[in-house]
Amino acid sequence: MIYFCLYILGYILLESVNKMMSMLIIDDDLNFVKTLFNYIIKQNLNIKLLGIGTNGNEAVKLIEYYKPDVLLLDLMMPQINGIQVLENMLNKKDKYFPKIKIVILSSFIEKLHKNKEYFNYIYDIIPKPININKLIYCLNQKKKKKNLKKIELYVDNELNKFNFNTNNAAYKYLKDTIMEIIKNNTNVFNLERDIYFNISQKYHKNNCKIIKWSIDKLMERMYLNTDIEIICKYFNFKYDTKPSTKFFIYNIVEKYFHQRNEEE
């Protein structure tokens, strides 16, 4: 009854929240499961609890059906144990990885050392008794990495629409500038103060003006090598116009947030 109530309540409360990280909990310790569930709800975490399993048989079925972002997996369970669940997943690598991140919850970590291949597919190991704060930190770090990858993929796709020299160091400055603005939702209108300084620090440059000059020169060469019709179509210009660097960056950033809002 506890299992059923936790599953249904978790689904109802978390279903309505947008852009969640999906998660399965496989553990036969229902007190731990209840504590974690209550913490997720209380902290209003951006996690969608897909289901709860109390043994390995349930784990195999739930993983097969849901393919979650995160799997919290106990090792010592009745019927099929956590090691056997891992073996089942490794036999279907292409189906489950790299999407699923596995977090092992157990005080019997030594059992994993019999097969070193396990460690290539385990995101983290948290020994019991569980430190809830460490677990939540681990989940949040996973979510940040996932979001950063998504932002990077978007920026790459947009910049590939123009004829940039990707081998130029300035291309990295431009890409990092756009990612930094999106990641931190920073105001575009003062790039030198808010962004270029950070980029100069990252690449060990003495002056943020070097970053600005390099990106501006990169943009000039891009405009020379890119068909003007492509530029006009992308920015919805009616006349042959070459937008400034700031305008170029602003539009790519705005397009990202517009797409994200539509998805939500």
Write down the residue that tokens 């349930």 correspond to.
58
Sheet holding 70-74, edge to edge: 47-53, 21-26, 70-74, 101-105, 122-126
- pLDDT tens readout for residues 184-235: 877 666 777 778 888 998 888 888 899 999 999 999 999 999 998 899 889 8
Whether residue 3 has pLDDT greater than 60: no
**Which structural domains are found in the chain, ordered by start?**
2-146 (3.40.50.2300), 160-263 (1.10.10.10)
pLDDT in tens, 25-78: 999 888 888 888 787 777 666 778 888 999 999 999 999 999 998 899 998 888
pTM higher than 0.75: no
Note the maximum CA span of the chain.
Answer: 70
| Mean pLDDT on 151-170 | 93
Is the Cβ–Cβ distance between 29 and 3 less than 8 Å? no
Q: 76-123: per-residue pLDDT in tens?
A: 888 888 889 999 999 998 899 888 888 888 877 666 666 667 778 888
**Cα–Cα distance list, 250 to 93, 115, 162 (Å):** 40, 50, 16
The neighbour count for residue 33, using CB atoms within 10 Å, is: 23
